[in-house]
Structure 1
């Protein structure tokens, strides 16, 4: 049966509908845009796509709209729209489509014994072609970096297929010689290890056959996480992502998160990956940031809680622990008080019960208001000096490389106007009166020398919650880095807490 839509990413980009090859736009950037949307398989903000492909002084948004109109003629039909776009995001609906790269990666997750020689040889032929050939130079450095990474992943898959061919039990002897030579050329260390083990008493197939190189943990996570959207009553779309398996753990959103770019992070990536090993880990971008709607009327504490409620309801979560970081702690507290039957425990990190509008001195409030003004005028510029104000207080002990990453990351997570609105909204937070109403096991972790939120505020948060366990950590960072000892100490404390409380 002929498929409605087939997309080939090996070699030059090709699209076929009902077995007939379709002409692609002459524009290299338009073809690269389609390849990017199809390969990533997730929503992207319009601003991000403009940055990747149209670094123009005039009207990059118009160029994006033009390209999307051309691509719709290639992949859309009256019965099925494939290019999906709303006012803020664009993505490709791949359901039911045949996409050779995606289908090959999916197939490689099957047990090795299920593969025939012929199937592996077809895979090898595909992987021998340059992925997305001819699209080099279609975008900025970000696109070129993405394209290089995708080709590296395809190369890793090629090595794995060569290994399977070289060691396949049904491979004829003459063909086996060819595939072993190609495998040895591609991955000499693994091939040599295989030959060495072949000369020893055999154990199991998994022990005998070394694996080839694998995609990076970050890229595996991006492919594995599932992104969806839910709506709150006012129509705002909230983007959420799930990854891993096991009992659910829901993280309340905090500022400076992005469902896609978090995996690049020296702050979040390793932490999130650790959680997803044993849990179904759920995160979302709060309104005004990340992949959620940026153009929103309400950007208040009650709206933040409403976002959390919408995600939990959309996924049908019945009972789960909540992870709160920074202002996400107050959101988690409020949700736990409103929905005690659904929350099994609270894990609160670097949090506070009341914002700077309530507790800061007049002098400190004046400083905060000055930063608000700086944010409005400098947040979206290429000069990171304005955003560096935040970077230094969030992570004073970070390396220059990590700080540079964080500076750029901030700009991608929110607009200048929303960045200022967030700061004002966080200043208005006050859940001090709700702390005594928390009825679930709670652990509170806080850096002793936090430069953003003083230790006293973390201690006050813990002391206000009945039975809360307080863990001070030896760090100056508001957001822990996975390279510092305090990060590992915090993970151990949380793991012990969850085991002792059974959550």
Structure 2
């Protein structure tokens, strides 16, 4: 392509590596002050209005005059970013604003390319991204701000690392790449994500040998020890074509939802909802539920619709979130199981299939082991047996703890970036509208304190010793490239639960979204499982 036809942006900003700014292709000298550079990066990356007093606290919490320090830094940044035609940095007595129109930010450009172009990216594009993402986000600016800035910086670095893993995975799998080049990039991938890289290659090996439909397939996939898991080839409706949008009358947003309340043994009020008619199916609570807001969800709405077409779908909000009591003494696996038990008893559910998502899988497993006569089947999606306090490496634990600190200081902020960390790891391939919805949903679903407490509770979960005691028919579904809970953890569930079936899903999303093919595969596999066992 003739480069003369490429329109160069007026301003290019790079935050991968040391911060740099280019105006019409020419490098612009930045102020030498580390705090001023950190302020530049924070304004540019967050892309929103900030209160002056918060910026003063974040960067200049000193006995001297922090307001004067902020004014000085803003004057320096105006010289870098503003032009006669475009005032990118503006401020009044209370707020500071950044207008990014006409500029390109390197990490944003990579993120957009991955979301929009995805698998259609060329090898050359992916290689360039991989090299750019090799640079440390805001290299050299550690300690330039307070704890809130440090938590934000660490979370941004985690996001950049996750993007690099995505790019490397696409490179290694690209149909146009040579074997030697693929092996080179695989070494880079293993350097930052050994478990993900090995699981991917083992999955490729299993697929290539056509073993996914019988037991030995999992030997290759796990490459650890023999297993009794049955790996089921996903069944799709209408020859794997995406299902049409559900009829309006079947959508829970249009069906009448009946909300009630019941009290756990410690007096905690638990909100539950039923929709549809017929035999019951119960969904265990997971992450942050909110019975009312879920009904308007672009994520779960269609799933609720399909489940409620011929059944009574029962959902509830765990303690600490949604319409249930928020001010509770304890959040733990034991209290989560107590919430499920309270709802099942309140509704007089004698025998029913139980669906678990994410940490809800462990809750469902624990309940099923304690009440084998009541659970007719287990559907486990994106789950794990042991939380990060037990199963994660020291590096992963450090990242989790950093995100927990960030949650405490920023969850309730007007800035959605603090919650966007979760949105992006839960649904890296979701579109902007879905991510924006989920950012706001989390804010309304629980408090900052409880969001941090939930993370601790999830980390302490451990049902590994209970898996062999499950007697209910079980299907385990897990995204191959789950960015939140690696597929190896789903495979552990399937390997240890007797006679479990395993269904791999072609997705990076921990929470499947309605418009991705994996959603239809998952839905069809669940229906096939329930039909097969007459549940």
Tell me whether the two structures share a fold, i.e. TM-score over 0.5: yes
Q: TM-score range by the shorter chain?
A: 0.5 to 0.7
CA distance in 2, matches of 1:353, 1:261: 28
Deviations 1:37-77 (A, max 9, x none): xxxxxxxxxxxxxxxxxxxxxxxxxxxxxxxxxxxxxxxxx
Deviation by residue 1:351-376 (Cα, 9 ceiling, x = unmatched): 00000000111111111111111001
Q: Match of 2:473?
A: 441
Deviations 1:73-105 (A, max 9, x none): xxxxxxxxxxxxxxxxxxxxxxxxxxxxxxxxx
Alignment of 1:109-188 (within 5 A): none
Following superposition, the deviation at residue 493 of structure 1 comes to 0.7
Conserved? CA contact 2:252–2:275, under 8 Å: no
* Residue 164 (structure 1) aligns with: none
Equivalences for 1:15-94 in 2 at 5 Å?
A: none
Three-state SS of the structure 1 residue aligned to 2:467 is helix
What per-residue deviation string (whole Å, max 9, x for no partner) do you get for residues 12-33 of structure 1? Answer: xxxxxxxxxxxxxxxxxxxxxx
How much has 1:267 moved relative to structure 2? 1.3
Task: Tell whether 2:405 aligns with 1:373.
Answer: yes
Secondary structure of 2:362's counterpart equals helix
2: CA distance, partners of 1:424 / 1:235: 23
Q: What is the match of residue 392 of structure 1?
A: 424
Distance 1:320 1:219 in 2: 24
Unaligned 5+ segments in structure 1 are 1-212
For 1:263 and 1:315, locate their aligned partners in 2 and report how far apart those are by CA, in whole Å: 21
Number of residue pairs matched by the alignment? 289
- 8 Å contact from structure 2 (residues 476, 501) kept in 1: yes
Q: 1:455 aligns with which of 487, 496, 521?
A: 487
Q: Which has the higher contact order (CA 8 A, sep 6+)?
A: 2
Residue 316 (str. 1) matches residue 345 (str. 2): no
Deviation, structure 1 residue 256: 2.1
Corresponding residue for 1:464?
496
Whether 2:490 is the aligned partner of 1:490: answer: no
User: What's the counterpart of residue 303 of structure 1?
Assistant: 335
Partner of 1:184: none
Distance 2:351 2:453 in 1: 32
Distance 1:226 1:448, change over 3 A: same
C-alpha deviation, 1:411, in angstroms: 0.3
Cα distance change on mapping 1:347 and 1:215 into 2, 3 Å: closer
SS in 2 for 1:334: helix
**2:462 alignment partner in structure 1:** 430
1:325 equivalent in alignment to 2:366: no
CA distance in 2, matches of 1:427, 1:253: 16
Q: Distance in 2 between matches of 1:298 and 1:481?
A: 31
Q: Partners in 2 of 1:215 and 1:279 — Cα distance? A: 15
Question: How do residues 277-288 of structure 1 correspond to structure 2 at under 5 angstroms?
Answer: 277-288=309-320
**2:251 & 2:447 partners in 1: Cα distance?**
29
Equivalent position of 2:302 in the other structure = 270
258, 262, 269: which one aligns with 1:230: 262
Structure 2, unmatched stretches of 5+, are 1-246
Partner of 2:254: 220
In structure 2, what is the Cα distance between the partners aligned to 1:497 and 1:481? 21
The CA distance in 2 between the partners of 1:268 and 1:217, in whole Å, is 11
The superposition leaves residues 251-297 of structure 1 with CA deviations (integer Å, 9 ceiling, x where unpaired) of 10001221000111121111001100011000000000000000000
- Residues 118-174 of structure 1: CA distance to partner in whole angstroms, max 9, x if unpaired? xxxxxxxxxxxxxxxxxxxxxxxxxxxxxxxxxxxxxxxxxxxxxxxxxxxxxxxxx
> Structure 1 residue 494: deviation in Å?
0.8
What is the CA-CA distance between 1:219 and the residue it aligns to?
Answer: 4.0
Q: In structure 2, how many angstroms separate the alpha carbons of the residues matched to 1:470 and 1:226? A: 34
In the TM superposition, residue 218 of structure 1 has moved relative to its aligned partner by 5.4
Match of 2:18 in 1: none
Q: Does 1:499 align with 2:531?
A: yes
RMSD of the alignment, in Å?
A: 1.4
2-structure distance, mates of 1:405, 1:309: 31
1:249-268 residue pairs with structure 2 within 5 A?
A: 249-268=281-300
Secondary structure of the equivalent of 1:220? coil
SS at 1:347 equivalent: strand
Alpha-carbon offset, residue 216 of structure 1: 10
State how far apart, in whole Å, the 1-side matches of 2:412 and 2:314 are. 29
Give the corresponding residue for 1:245: 277
2:453 to 421, 427, 440: 421
C-alpha change, 1:424 and 1:214, in structure 2 (3 Å) is: closer
For residues 265 and 214 of structure 1, do their structure 2 counterparts lie closer, same or farther at Cα, with a shift above 3 Å needed?
closer
Q: Is the 8 A contact 2:253 2:301 kept in 1?
A: no
Identify the residue that residue 79 of structure 1 maps to in structure 2: none
